[in-house]
Amino acid sequence: MSVTQVIRNVRPMGGPAQDVLLDEQARIAERVPAGTAPATLPTLLDGQGQLLLPALVESHVHFDKTLWNTPWRTNSAGPTRWHRITNEHGVLKNLEVPMAQRAGPLIEHCIASGSLYFRSHVDTQTVWGLQHVQDMLALRAHYAALIDLQLVAFPQGGLLTAPDTTQLMEQALELGLDVVGGIDPAGIDKDPIRHLETVFAFAVQYGRGVDIHLHDLGELGRWETERIADMTEVHGLQGRVVISHAYALGAFPPAELEPLADRLAALRISIMTCGPANVTVPPVAMLRTHGVNVCSGSDGIRDAWSPMGNGDMLERAMLLALRFGWSKDEDLLAAFDIVSHGGARALGLTGYGVDVGCAANLLVLPAENVAAAVIDRSLSRTVISRGRIVARDGVFLRN
Amino acid sequence: MSVTQVIRNVRPMGGPAQDVLLDEQARIAERVPAGTAPATLPTLLDGQGQLLLPALVESHVHFDKTLWNTPWRTNSAGPTRWHRITNEHGVLKNLEVPMAQRAGPLIEHCIASGSLYFRSHVDTQTVWGLQHVQDMLALRAHYAALIDLQLVAFPQGGLLTAPDTTQLMEQALELGLDVVGGIDPAGIDKDPIRHLETVFAFAVQYGRGVDIHLHDLGELGRWETERIADMTEVHGLQGRVVISHAYALGAFPPAELEPLADRLAALRISIMTCGPANVTVPPVAMLRTHGVNVCSGSDGIRDAWSPMGNGDMLERAMLLALRFGWSKDEDLLAAFDIVSHGGARALGLTGYGVDVGCAANLLVLPAENVAAAVIDRSLSRTVISRGRIVARDGVFLRN
């Protein structure tokens, strides 16, 4: 494989300054001490001693819901999750701006923030039919040269309780959605076992992974977590299941959850948490100590649920650290791991990282080290996708 | 009073576009519809329709502790508050960078983020003697033309238990510190009534306000809050007392605290919360509904306690909103009020705001409205101090 270009003078993960040589397939071919790469090799970027990180992984987002790139809208959602679900129908139906003009600019903003890997849940329910699915598939095609975008068939309004949803889910999977979604098998669908059986049957039938929104709290949510583990084991879906939010796991003393953590680790079930500050959250440190993979995401970004969010996964790492009171370097590195390698593991990515052989999907920014990058969140970010500079200083480059 | 210059085409608090005329004392003399100010009047800034806000109020910070502008330092603090207090002694004593070269650049960074009013707690204890007090007084003098900086005589290691601290406190107040500090009258000083009697006696003797760090949790912290209210009433210090952190008030159902809230409101005792995500926090919405003034601050910014913090009070408003799950416009406006007018009330500022007669200490930034400013936290901020532009786009102007 021939070397075609070089990123000069960057510090991979805060280590010594190196030149990073890329091959013609935009992979990292070699890393050599800074200043020793051939001067004749075309320079993709002179990093001037900046930090080199892998591009960030946005493991849980709802691009199809966003109001990004539209005028400010006063939030009109009611107090319960069900109110927010139904309120959203009206908000999105009354929008004149098509999804491509909302989610597209948001994707570009996320790219400019340093994320190049995404898992977006796509509303797959009667109210939209297959419209969200088709719009997001079109956006995926549009950005296919820049990002890896996994799409989850997501039964926002319930899988069993809403008419036609199971058929829509099947159609979405046939159209190419990557992951079978689920939501609160008890709290929303009111029939947890049949919900999970349906989700896992789709996963087996279509050869897909599973990603279940689990907001149910306390004992109920813990019980559902155990049932998801059962199903994962029964259907041989080890390493292909994500439980998103899992608020319930924050309701117990961590030590009490250790056997469950060991089981999740053995089944390679990932836990996705955004680290919300106003609800209980999974005990991330304990989970990671027990070998459970943890990833993170923005969840909704400026949508009918909340105006919050900006898709910055470095900010997300900082918010995770704040949520858990982390201040040690090793904890800040854990926060970074969650928004990078943890996401890569949850999404089953290959060739992820800054090692030789990895794809040249990279983030370069000024920071002394990885911990400082999480704290500082410099916006002077250069983003490299597949060996090409696609964003500088927070601006997506339309090249 | 003659008008000397004009800020053209800005939207005060998100209202209609106006020209804001300033007088020779750098106060807002008049606000007229955009485009109607005399063309001959010197233009301080063409706002191009941006939002005009009052400069932000940083109500609780520890500038004297910061490691800002020094190389990254791995956090070495132990697990308890007492460990963190004693760990800090070693960290700061081994620093070769004097306080002026740490706190000075941090103050400039805070100015560039839009804050022009500050209350900084200054360690007043045996380990430092009066060094921190004198260094911070020198910094206050250095930046006196730009900012209002209140200094609190803060007995970090305990008021009664540490030798000489009461004498140091008296000396600090005589040197010109503005506020009498206190800390965990029960948890740190182990003699809550004598601690509070000492603090309030100083306040009466020197004619100063009171600002007490109260980390004590649960029933203990609530009981101390009631005792602070008692002392405020006995000594006639209504409107001059702040309780900082007050974690304990987050340990009870808000309704149970309503009588206490009414009492705090009647005594005009302000509550300062940073909105931390990993401890209980005061029920801010209920407190405000009952008329209690709430302000906020960064607390430590990159110090021996934690590397967290950047002094951005718009980000602080966002973190408060996240902490309380706020998404409605009125709640985001409340978050902004806490980092602006709430701070001004707590610090007893006069002439604060964007109304005619207020000081021209202002923040101009691109945002549709105040709620959006809190969410977006644009760094394209122009900061006006006393009628002069002192920062642009996050850069402090050394003019």
CB contact under 8 A, B372 and A327: no
CA distance A242 to A292: 11
A80: region left, alpha or beta (phi > 0 left; psi from -120 to 50 alpha): beta
Task: Enumerate residues 142 to 171 of chain A having a beta carbon within 8 A of any beta carbon in chain B.
Answer: none
Among positive and negative, which fits the CA dihedral A76, A77, A83, A87? Answer: positive
What integer pLDDT is reported at residue A366 of this predicted model? 97
Burial class of B330 by CB neighbour count within 10 A (0 to 12, 13 to 18, 19+): exposed
- The pTM assigned to this predicted structure is 0.97
* A259's tokens: 């056997």
Q: How high is the pLDDT of residue A83?
A: 87
- Encode pLDDT of B134-164 as tens digits: 999 999 999 999 999 999 999 999 999 888 9
Q: What's the complex ipTM?
A: 0.96
What is the structure's pLDDT at A82? 85
* Other Cβ atoms closer than 10 A to A255: 10
Among B270, B272, B273, B283, residue whose Cα is nearest residue B237: B270
Which of A324, A346, A335 is closest to A377 using CA atoms?
Answer: A335
What is the reported pLDDT for B77? 87
pLDDT at A1: 62
Cβ-based neighbour number of residue B393 at 10 Å: 11
Q: How many Å lie between the alpha carbon of A379 and the closest alpha carbon of chain B?
A: 10
Q: Please state the domain extents for chain A.
A: 3-54+353-396, 56-346
Strand A388-392's sheet: what is its strand order?
A28-33, A18-23, A3-12, A43-54, A362-365, A382-385, A388-392, A395-396
pLDDT of residue B81: 84
Q: Does A306 touch chain B (CB under 8 A)?
A: yes
The DSSP bridge partners found for residue B181 are B211
Q: Is the minimum CB–CB distance between B39 and chain A shorter than 8 Å?
A: no
| Contact criterion met (CB below 8 Å) for B181 and B241 | no
SS3 A315: helix
Read off the amino acid at residue B399.
Answer: N
Is A327–B306 a contact, with Cβ atoms under 8 angstroms apart?
Answer: yes
Predicted pLDDT of residue A226: 98
Chain B contact set for A318 (CB, 8 A) = 308
Nearest to B278 among A308, A324, A329 (CB): A324
Which conformational region is residue A393 in: left (phi greater than 0), alpha (psi within -120 to 50 degrees), or beta? left
Q: Is B16 exposed, middle or buried (0-12, 13-18, 19+ CB in 10 A)?
A: exposed
CB < 8 Å to A372, chain B: 72, 307
Q: What is the CATH number of domain B58-346?
A: 3.20.20.140
Tokens encoding B194: 């004598």
User: Which residues of chain B are within 8 Å of residue A310 when distances are taken between CB atoms?
Assistant: 375-376
Which residue from B222, B226, B231 is spatially nearest to B195, judged by alpha carbons? B231
Q: Does B308 touch chain A (CB under 8 A)?
A: yes
Query: What pLDDT score was predicted for residue B126?
Result: 92
SS3 label, residue A162: coil
CB contacts, 8 Å: B75 with chain A: 327-329
So what's the pLDDT on residue B83? 87
Q: Sheet holding A241-245: strands in order across?
A: A56-61, A115-123, A148-154, A179-183, A209-214, A241-245, A269-272, A294-295
Nearest chain B CA: its distance from A2 CA (Å)? 38
A237 touches chain B (CB under 8 A): no
Q: Which residue has the tokens 């008021």?
A: B159
How far lies B36's CA from each of B32, B33, B249, B354, B357, in Å?
6, 6, 50, 18, 20
d(CA B42, CA B6): 6
Whether B324 sits inside 8 A of A368 (CB atoms) is no
* 8 A C-beta contact, residue B117 and residue B147: yes
Residue ranges in chain B whose pLDDT is less than 70: 1, 399
Write the Ramachandran bin of B394: left for phi over 0, alpha for psi from -120 to 50, otherwise beta: left
Q: How far is A238 from chain B (nearest CA, A)?
A: 32
Q: B205 — contact with chain A (CB < 8 Å)? A: no
Which residue in the set B75, B277, B327 is minimally distant from A306, CB to CB?
B327
- Asked if CATH classification 3.20.20.140 holds for the domain at A56-346, the reply, yes or no, is yes
- Quick check: helix, strand or coil at residue B368? coil
Nearest chain A CA: its distance from B368 CA (Å):
7
Type of residue numbered B202 = F
Interface touch A277/B323, C-beta < 8 Å: yes
**Would you call B247 an interface residue with chain A, using a CB distance cutoff of 8 Å?**
no
Question: Quick check: B319 and A278 CB within 8 A?
Answer: no
Whole-angstrom Cα distance, residue B76 to residue A137? 49
Determine the Cα–Cα distance for residues B169 and B182; give it in Å rounded to an integer.
10
Residue B164 falls in which region: left (phi positive, over 0), alpha (psi -120 to 50) or beta: left
Contacts of B369 in chain A (CB under 8 A): 72
Residues in chain A: 399
CB contact under 8 A, A72 and B306: no
| Residue B220 burial (C-beta neighbours within 10 Å; 0-12, 13-18, 19+) | middle
Residue type, B173: L
- Would you call A307 an interface residue with chain B, using a CB distance cutoff of 8 Å? yes
A73 touches B at CB < 8 Å: no
Distance, in Å, from the CA atom of B241 to the CA atom of B224, rounded to the nearest integer, reads 14
CATH architecture of B3-54+354-396: Roll (2.30)
**What sections of chain A are H helices per DSSP?**
81-93, 99-112, 131-142, 165-175, 192-206, 218-234, 258-266, 284-289, 313-324, 329-338, 341-346, 370-376
Same fold, B3-54+354-396 and B58-346: no
Does domain A3-54+353-396 sit in CATH 3.30.70.20? Answer: no
Residues of B in contact with A319 (CB under 8 A): 277, 322
pLDDT score of B1: 62
Give the A:B interface size as CB pairs under 8 Å.
80
Tell me the average confidence (pLDDT) per consecutive run of 10 residues in chain A, 399 residues long.
93 98 97 97 98 98 97 89 88 93 98 98 96 98 98 96 92 98 96 98 98 97 98 98 98 97 98 97 98 98 96 98 97 98 98 98 98 97 98 91
A274 close to A297: Cβ distance less than 8 angstroms: yes
Say yes or no: B372 contacts chain A, CB-CB below 8 A: yes
Give the one of B277, B305, B371 whose C-beta lies nearest to A277's C-beta: B277
Tokens representing B76 are 């070495």
